[in-house]
Amino acid sequence: MNYIRFFCILQQTLFLAAVFATGNASAQSQQEELLMNVFGGLVTGNASPRSPQEELFRSVVAESDCKQTQNNGPVCVYKVGQKLKFSIKDPGGSNEVIAFRHSDWDDDYYAVMDLGCIVVVHGAANQKKYGSQGGVFVAPKNGRIHRTLQECQGANK
Protein backbone atom coordinates (compact mmCIF):
# COMPACT_ATOMS: atom_id res chain seq x y z
CA MET A 1 0.00 0.00 0.00
CA ASN A 2 1.38 3.39 -0.83
CA TYR A 3 1.69 6.17 1.73
CA ILE A 4 -0.65 8.53 -0.11
CA ARG A 5 -3.50 6.02 0.04
CA PHE A 6 -2.78 5.35 3.71
CA PHE A 7 -2.79 9.10 4.45
CA CYS A 8 -6.14 9.55 2.64
CA ILE A 9 -7.72 6.70 4.60
CA LEU A 10 -6.34 8.06 7.86
CA GLN A 11 -7.69 11.52 7.00
CA GLN A 12 -11.15 10.06 6.26
CA THR A 13 -11.10 8.16 9.56
CA LEU A 14 -10.18 11.27 11.54
CA PHE A 15 -12.91 13.25 9.75
CA LEU A 16 -15.50 10.57 10.57
CA ALA A 17 -14.41 10.52 14.21
CA ALA A 18 -14.88 14.30 14.39
CA VAL A 19 -18.33 14.09 12.80
CA PHE A 20 -19.44 11.39 15.24
CA ALA A 21 -18.20 13.39 18.20
CA THR A 22 -20.52 16.27 17.26
CA GLY A 23 -23.66 14.23 17.95
CA ASN A 24 -25.06 14.44 14.41
CA ALA A 25 -27.83 11.81 14.50
CA SER A 26 -27.69 11.06 10.78
CA ALA A 27 -23.93 10.64 10.83
CA GLN A 28 -24.04 8.39 13.88
CA SER A 29 -26.43 5.99 12.17
CA GLN A 30 -23.83 5.49 9.44
CA GLN A 31 -20.73 5.23 11.68
CA GLU A 32 -20.17 1.49 11.54
CA GLU A 33 -20.84 1.19 7.83
CA LEU A 34 -18.63 4.12 6.86
CA LEU A 35 -15.78 2.86 9.00
CA MET A 36 -16.14 -0.59 7.41
CA ASN A 37 -15.94 1.03 3.96
CA VAL A 38 -12.80 2.94 4.96
CA PHE A 39 -11.08 -0.08 6.47
CA GLY A 40 -12.38 -2.35 3.70
CA GLY A 41 -10.35 -0.22 1.30
CA LEU A 42 -7.31 -0.73 3.52
CA VAL A 43 -7.66 -4.50 3.47
CA THR A 44 -8.43 -4.94 -0.22
CA GLY A 45 -6.23 -2.12 -1.44
CA ASN A 46 -8.93 -0.60 -3.63
CA ALA A 47 -12.37 0.93 -3.39
CA SER A 48 -15.38 -0.82 -4.85
CA PRO A 49 -17.27 0.93 -7.65
CA ARG A 50 -20.28 2.89 -6.44
CA SER A 51 -23.75 2.17 -7.72
CA PRO A 52 -26.14 5.06 -8.40
CA GLN A 53 -27.96 4.16 -5.18
CA GLU A 54 -24.72 4.20 -3.18
CA GLU A 55 -23.79 7.59 -4.64
CA LEU A 56 -27.23 8.92 -3.72
CA PHE A 57 -27.00 7.44 -0.21
CA ARG A 58 -23.61 9.07 0.40
CA SER A 59 -24.86 12.38 -0.98
CA VAL A 60 -27.88 12.42 1.35
CA VAL A 61 -25.70 11.49 4.35
CA ALA A 62 -23.13 14.17 3.50
CA GLU A 63 -25.74 16.90 3.12
CA SER A 64 -27.84 16.10 6.20
CA ASP A 65 -27.65 18.13 9.37
CA CYS A 66 -29.44 17.29 12.61
CA LYS A 67 -29.11 19.62 15.55
CA GLN A 68 -30.84 20.84 18.67
CA THR A 69 -32.38 24.29 18.36
CA GLN A 70 -33.12 26.57 21.33
CA ASN A 71 -36.81 27.12 20.70
CA ASN A 72 -37.98 24.28 18.47
CA GLY A 73 -36.14 21.19 19.76
CA PRO A 74 -34.30 18.88 17.37
CA VAL A 75 -34.44 19.63 13.63
CA CYS A 76 -32.90 17.64 10.76
CA VAL A 77 -32.35 19.42 7.44
CA TYR A 78 -31.56 17.54 4.23
CA LYS A 79 -30.19 19.20 1.10
CA VAL A 80 -29.58 16.98 -1.92
CA GLY A 81 -28.26 18.04 -5.29
CA GLN A 82 -28.92 21.52 -6.55
CA LYS A 83 -32.43 22.17 -5.20
CA LEU A 84 -34.00 19.40 -3.10
CA LYS A 85 -34.48 20.52 0.48
CA PHE A 86 -36.65 19.05 3.22
CA SER A 87 -36.61 18.90 7.00
CA ILE A 88 -37.95 16.95 9.96
CA LYS A 89 -38.82 18.80 13.15
CA ASP A 90 -38.69 16.80 16.37
CA PRO A 91 -37.36 13.48 15.03
CA GLY A 92 -37.62 10.95 17.84
CA GLY A 93 -40.32 13.00 19.52
CA SER A 94 -44.03 12.40 19.73
CA ASN A 95 -45.00 14.64 16.81
CA GLU A 96 -42.59 14.75 13.87
CA VAL A 97 -43.28 17.48 11.34
CA ILE A 98 -41.99 16.99 7.79
CA ALA A 99 -41.53 20.04 5.59
CA PHE A 100 -40.74 19.70 1.89
CA ARG A 101 -39.15 23.09 1.25
CA HIS A 102 -38.40 22.27 -2.38
CA SER A 103 -39.05 19.01 -4.21
CA ASP A 104 -39.63 18.95 -7.96
CA TRP A 105 -39.76 15.96 -10.31
CA ASP A 106 -37.97 17.96 -13.02
CA ASP A 107 -34.89 18.72 -10.85
CA ASP A 108 -31.89 16.45 -10.28
CA TYR A 109 -33.52 14.90 -7.16
CA TYR A 110 -36.93 14.96 -5.55
CA ALA A 111 -38.53 13.46 -2.44
CA VAL A 112 -41.92 11.95 -1.62
CA MET A 113 -43.58 10.22 1.33
CA ASP A 114 -44.20 6.52 0.78
CA LEU A 115 -45.24 3.90 3.33
CA GLY A 116 -44.16 6.05 6.28
CA CYS A 117 -40.74 7.02 4.93
CA ILE A 118 -39.35 9.96 2.99
CA VAL A 119 -37.96 8.61 -0.27
CA VAL A 120 -35.24 10.53 -2.15
CA VAL A 121 -34.93 9.56 -5.83
CA HIS A 122 -33.29 10.79 -9.01
CA GLY A 123 -35.38 13.39 -10.80
CA ALA A 124 -35.89 13.98 -14.50
CA ALA A 125 -32.64 15.95 -14.80
CA ASN A 126 -30.70 12.82 -13.74
CA GLN A 127 -32.70 10.22 -15.67
CA LYS A 128 -30.24 10.02 -18.58
CA LYS A 129 -27.31 9.47 -16.24
CA TYR A 130 -28.91 7.16 -13.66
CA GLY A 131 -32.23 6.00 -15.04
CA SER A 132 -34.71 5.11 -12.34
CA GLN A 133 -32.15 3.18 -10.29
CA GLY A 134 -31.90 3.67 -6.60
CA GLY A 135 -33.66 5.44 -3.84
CA VAL A 136 -32.73 6.43 -0.32
CA PHE A 137 -35.10 6.34 2.64
CA VAL A 138 -35.25 8.72 5.59
CA ALA A 139 -37.07 7.63 8.76
CA PRO A 140 -39.14 10.51 10.20
CA LYS A 141 -39.10 8.91 13.67
CA ASN A 142 -35.34 9.38 14.12
CA GLY A 143 -34.06 11.29 11.06
CA ARG A 144 -31.70 8.49 10.06
CA ILE A 145 -30.95 7.58 6.46
CA HIS A 146 -31.42 4.04 5.16
CA ARG A 147 -30.67 2.12 1.97
CA THR A 148 -33.89 0.07 1.97
CA LEU A 149 -37.55 0.68 2.69
CA GLN A 150 -37.56 -2.24 5.14
CA GLU A 151 -34.76 -0.69 7.22
CA CYS A 152 -36.58 2.64 7.23
CA GLN A 153 -39.88 1.12 8.25
CA GLY A 154 -38.14 -0.81 11.03
CA ALA A 155 -36.64 2.43 12.33
CA ASN A 156 -40.09 4.04 12.40
CA LYS A 157 -41.53 1.49 14.83
The domain total for the chain is 2
Which residue from 79, 84, 103 is spatially nearest to 26, judged by alpha carbons?
79
* pLDDT tens profile 120-147: 999 998 887 777 667 999 999 999 999 9
128 and 112 in a single domain? The answer is yes
Domain hosting residue 99, numbered range: 52-155
As a whole number of angstroms, the distance between CA 40 and CA 127 comes to 31
61 and 10 within one domain = no
Q: What is the pTM of this model?
A: 0.68
* pLDDT tens, residue by residue, 86-104: 999 999 888 899 999 999 9
- pLDDT, tens digit, for every residue of 27-49? 444 444 443 444 333 333 334 46
Q: How far apart are CA 5 and CA 122, in angstroms?
A: 31
Bridge partners (DSSP) of residue 102 are 85
Q: Is residue 44 exposed (0-12), middle (13-18) or buried (19+ Cβ within 10 Å)? A: exposed
At 52 the pLDDT is 83
The verdict on 64 and 34 lying in the same domain is no
